[in-house]
Amino acid sequence: MAQNDETKTGMKKFAGIEVPPDLTKGNFFFLYFNTLIAGMLLGFPAIVQPAFLSEIIKINQDFAGSINGLLQNMSQIATLLLVALVGVLSDKVGRKILAFFGFLIVGGFFYFLSFANGVAAGLHIPAGLSSQICALLSFMPSRAAEFGEFAPGLLITYITRLIIGVGFILTYPQFITMVADYTYEKDRGKGMAMNGVMMGVSSLLVFAIFAPIQKQAGVVTTLYIIGFIALAGAVCTWVFLKDHLPETKAAKPSFKDIIPVVRKSLPLKASYLCALITRADIIVLATFLMSWGVKYGKEIEMTAETATLRASIPMMVMGVLSMVCFPIVGIMLDKWGRVPVIILATSGSAAGMILLFFCPNPFSPLVYPAAVLCAFGMAGAIAGANTLATDVSPKAMVGSIMGGLNTMQPIGVLFFLGVGGYLFDVLGPGWAFLLKGAASAILFIWLLAVKNSITSELKETATK
């Protein structure tokens, strides 16, 4: 039926999204397939890191929260340093080439990660110096002596994850921006929702398939598999994707051009604040829930791989719900409006994180309703902020504005993982989630206060 409609109108569609004349359905398919691969690569550290640190690096579990948080923050530091500049670069050289090289970097250095201890030994990294550095990075310099046995391998792991972070920031933002490049405004909500669906599917695959694989095959084999998947992403990007940059004769924007645009736009400010606070949700949840699972598992004499698998079950639930929520959110964004969806999403995010604070352990039944709330919160916040930002961005600056938007994520994640990791080790795991929930609650209240002003500005923009 859909094919007959296309024949009559001469209009091509992919999943209900109009395909521009110079693009193909195959371009759309591989845009979202590569988004799936990128999402899997972003999710792999959540299941690999706690077991890798426990079984390979053999860290002291008293520091599990701060070490896991900081290890995730290596990617965020790379993102914070480069993402806005990468956004500007993507407007100048195109999205495809950046994503291609990003996949190659990620795959190569995930493979290299398996040799962390061997590299540290080969370089003769002194235990004394490395333990002081690692203890300082965990905000516990007075306990440096307790880091001595595992610090050299941990230091190499930190450096490797920083480089992997560079690969990430070259890769995944390109596919968000390409959704804006590929879609017309009337379908952009659906396009962003499809991007979110792929991220949800990727999360489900990571936790439902690769956590059991890791339990059976071990951490090192899992790292090799990750490297192969990244290589497949590079090939698919190079062969099947096509840049579709906005046609404009205007000069290409620089990073400094973004600031005045955002400063004058309340919708962009709302999008940026939403990204600052809510994009940390999935990272905080995955990092600390997996870390909590491994730590608690050790207390009840459970292997790290088994504990990771069991703690992954709520994340599987979240992945399934994301697949359901993102299409619904896409329809809501186009029919109900961007701002109301974002407000509803932030309320779900706040409630879910606060509920996790009251869970007695990572295997508690209370974790599941918390995951449900966080799934909707993630879907609405990600798709809502992305769509709102692209709606009001000048056409020649979409990549730059989205690069700035993506900069907000690492700033938020650095804070919530850094402070949350410290609270995890000092006060208890639940406090890391409470910190995140309180921030989402504050954002929810602010959005309610400025809702009418944002709506008025959106109407003015639409009439120009």
The pLDDT of residue 108 is above 70: yes
For residue 364, the Cα-to-chain-centroid distance in whole angstroms is 25
Percent of the chain topping pLDDT 90: 32
**pLDDT score recorded for residue 248:** 55
pLDDT at 327 over 80: no
Query: Which residues have C-beta within 8 Å of that of residue 368, sequence separation ≥ 6?
Result: 314, 317
Report the alpha-carbon distance of residue 123 to residue 304 in Å, rounded: 29
Over range 358-383, report the average pLDDT: 88
For residue range 343-361, list pLDDT tens digits in order. 999 999 999 999 999 999 9
Residue 393: alpha-carbon gap to chain centroid? 22
Cα(425)–Cα(165) distance, rounded to whole angstroms? Answer: 25
CA distances from 106 to 99, 101, 113, 161, 162 (A): 11, 9, 11, 9, 10
Q: Cα–Cα distance between 299 and 293 in angstroms, integer?
A: 10
Q: How far is CA 264 from CA 261, 342, 392, 393, 454, in A?
A: 5, 20, 11, 12, 12
Checking if the pLDDT of 250 tops 90, the result is no
pLDDT at residue 464, rounded to an integer: 58
pLDDT confidence of 462, banded at 50, 70, 90? low
> How far is it, in rounded angstroms, from Cα 150 to Cα 98?
35
Identify which of 457, 464, 440 has the alpha carbon closest to the alpha carbon of residue 380: 440
Mean pLDDT, residues 87-109: 91
Type and span of the H or E element at 457: helix 430-463
Q: For residue 209, give every residue at least 6 positions away whose Cβ sits within 8 Å of its Cβ, in sequence order, or none.
A: none
User: For residue 388, what pLDDT is reported?
Assistant: 81
Q: What is the pTM of this model?
A: 0.75
Nearest one of 191, 369, 240 to 377, comparing CA atoms: 369
The full set of domain ranges for the chain reads 18-243+253-463
Q: How far is the C-alpha of 411 from the C-alpha of 292, rounded, in Å? A: 23
Q: How far is CA 244 from the centre of its chain?
A: 24
Does position 110 have pLDDT exceeding 70, yes or no? Answer: yes
Percent of the chain with pLDDT over 70: 92
pLDDT confidence bin for 115, thresholds 50/70/90 = very high
Is 50 exceeded by the pLDDT of residue 249? no
Which superfamily is assigned to 18-243+253-463 in CATH? MFS general substrate transporter like domains (1.20.1250.20)
Q: What pLDDT shows up at residue 47?
A: 85
Residue 299 has pLDDT above 70, yes or no: yes
What's the mean per-residue pLDDT of the chain?
85
With vertex at residue 291, the alpha carbon angle to CA 359 and CA 349, rounded to the nearest 5 degrees, is: 50
CA distances 21 to 3, 10, 14, 246, Å, are 16, 10, 12, 14
Residue 391 has pLDDT above 80, yes or no: no
